[in-house]
Amino acid sequence: MDRTKLASDLRDAGYLADDRTVLVSALSIELGKPVLVEGPAGVGKTELAKALAKVTDRELVRLQCYEGLDEARALYEWNYRAQLLRIQAAQGDGWDGLRDDLFAEEFLLERPLLRAIRSERPVVLLVDEIDKADQEFEALLLELLSDFQVSIPELGTVHAASRPLVLLTSNAARELTEALKRRCLFLTLDYPSPERERDILLEHVPELPEAIAFRIAEVAAKIRELDLRKPPAISETIDWAHSLLLIGADSIDSAVLRETLPVVLKHRTDLDLVADRAAQLLGEPIGKGSR
């Protein structure tokens, strides 16, 4: 795959990818291997999957992981109510004839993993925040990631109708198993440099003056260096840029920073810490812009 074209297509889809991200994405498409994308929350892991779905003209199938996620929510389950009605309607029939009817396709409820496997049209399968799920769920994924097939005891093995492009994201909340990692290409994403974040802001908020975009990126980088519960994500700096335009701010001083902090930070302790250090973050003399 032409990496230059892929980078251009991703940019057209609103995603500014660095060279490593473009390379791993291209390899995933060409080799048909899943990608494990690891990094802090808010650096564009999920957005990469969305952009690749646009670039490759595929439907995005998303599975949001959480603690306790099981086969019935991720893969498939049987429609027990419909099966019960079928049993009631077939009173007097023998079990042998009824059993095949009960586990027919009409009673199978697809969940995201099975839907991605059975789709006639190629899809992008996003398994989001895999580190929030239990290790038992990782074991469930291994067959799918290795052979792109799923075993259903009542129906047999379901092979992929079309090979999905698979992205798994992780915030590194826990260590993933080696068996899972072995089946994936690996990509790490981090917060962008101020120069790259400026370009991202200008891509999403084209009416923003370039000087303001770079100032937002500089201040955001300094804020992220503080000991915060939740550093600002790229999506939140984009919201900040929109907010500065709406209030007509042509620069960022301590007063403007304090007024707009709720757009960027979502925890009281983080708000208080950054507000206290506003002048220091902006390189202002202590006391300027304070209230």
Q: What amino acid occupies position 122?
A: P
Answer yes or no: do 133 and 241 share one domain: no
Query: Does some domain include residue 290?
Result: no
Answer yes or no: do 208 and 157 share one domain: no
Answer yes or no: do 57 and 170 share one domain: yes
Per-residue pLDDT of the chain (291 residues; tens, 9 = 90+): 789 999 999 999 999 999 999 999 999 999 999 999 999 999 999 999 999 999 999 999 999 999 999 989 999 998 888 878 877 777 766 555 566 677 777 888 999 999 999 999 999 999 999 999 999 999 889 988 988 998 888 888 889 888 999 999 999 989 999 999 999 999 999 999 999 999 999 999 999 999 999 999 999 999 999 999 999 999 999 999 999 999 999 899 999 999 999 999 999 999 999 999 999 999 877 554 444
Answer yes or no: do 46 and 178 share one domain: yes
CATH code assigned at 125? 3.40.50.300
Tell me how far apart the alpha carbons of residues 216 and 234 are, in angstroms, rounded to a whole number.
Answer: 11
Query: Does some domain include residue 285?
Result: no
What is the residue range of 11's domain? 3-69+111-188
Q: Which residues contact 285 (CB under 8 A, 6 or more apart)?
A: 279
Question: CA gyration radius for the chain?
Answer: 24
Query: Does some domain include residue 120?
Result: yes
Last residue of a domain, one of 57, 88, 108: 108
- Asked if residue 43 lies in contact with residue 190, where contact means CB atoms within 8 angstroms, the answer is yes
Answer yes or no: do 141 and 261 share one domain: no
Helices (runs of H) and strands (runs of E) counted in the chain: 15, 9
**What are the Cα distances from residue 146, in Å, to 141, 142, 162, 179, 245?**
9, 6, 14, 10, 48
Residue 164, judged by CB atoms within 10 A of its CB (0-12, 13-18, 19+), counts as buried
Last residue of a domain, one of 188, 203, 234: 188
Q: Which residues contact 29 (CB under 8 A, 6 or more apart)?
A: 1, 6, 52, 56, 165
pTM: 0.87
Answer yes or no: do 248 and 209 share one domain: yes
